[in-house]
Amino acid sequence: MSFDYEVLLNSFKSSTLSLFSSIDRFIENELDTLSEHIQFDFKLEALKRLDTPSLTFSATDGSMKVKRLSGLCALMLCSTSVLYELGVGAHTWLEKWPEQFYLKRAFVLPWVEDESESEELGATLMRYFEYYTLGRSLDSARVALKDGSILTDYTLSLKRALSFESSSLIGVETPFGAIDAYDLYVNMFRVLGFFDKESWLAKISEAEEKHGRALCKGVESEIQTLCERFPSKLSLSGNTLVLSEEAMFSNKKIEWLLDSFERRLERSAEHPLIFENRLLSRVDVELLTLFKVEQVFLKSIKKGALLIGVVKDSHSSSFLRTLARTKEIPSILSDKIALSVFSFKARLDKPWCTDVYNPLPYEDFGKTLEQTGFSCATPFVQRFYFQLFPSSEVFACETLGFGANELIKALLFVLAKEASSMPEALGYNYPLFEADKISKHALKEMEALVNSYEVLLLSDTSTSSYVNFLKSYREKRRVYEFGRKNS
pLDDT bracket for residue 22 (50, 70, 90) = confident
Query: Any alpha helices (H) in 142-281, and if so which ranges?
Result: 150-161, 181-188, 200-209, 220-229, 250-266
Contact by Cβ (8 Å): 141, 217 = no
Bridge partners (DSSP) of residue 215 are 240
Strand partners, 74: 67, 108
> What's the CA gap between 280 and 149, in Å, rounded?
25
- Predicted confidence (pLDDT) per residue in 160-207, tens digit: 888 888 899 999 999 999 999 999 998 988 887 777 777 777 888 888
CA dist 2 and 291 (Å) reads 57
Q: Counting Cβ atoms within 10 Å, is residue 176 exposed (0-12), middle (13-18) or buried (19+)?
A: middle
Whether the pLDDT of residue 70 is over 60: the answer is yes
Select the highest-mean-pLDDT range: 50-59, 103-112, 307-316, 329-338: 307-316
pLDDT at 262 over 80: yes
- DSSP secondary structure letters along 343-376: HHHTT--S-EEEPPB-SS-HHHHHHHTTTTT---
pLDDT at 111 (0 to 100): 65
As a whole-number percent, the residues of the chain with pLDDT over 90 amount to 25
- Residue that wins the pLDDT comparison between 162 and 128: 128
Tell me the three-class secondary structure of 208-228, residue by residue.
HHCCCEEECCCCHHHHHHHHH
pLDDT(31) > 80:
no
Alpha-carbon torsion, ordered 348, 350, 356, 361, to 10 deg: 30
The tens digit of pLDDT for each residue in 360-393 reads 765 555 555 555 555 555 568 889 999 988 878 8
pTM for this model (two decimals): 0.87
pLDDT of residue 253: 94
Domain range summary for the chain, segments of one domain joined by +: 55-165+281-445, 168-260
* Lowest mean pLDDT, pick from 86-100, 322-336, 361-375: 361-375
Report which of 382, 377, 403 is spatially closest to residue 193, judged by C-alpha positions. 377
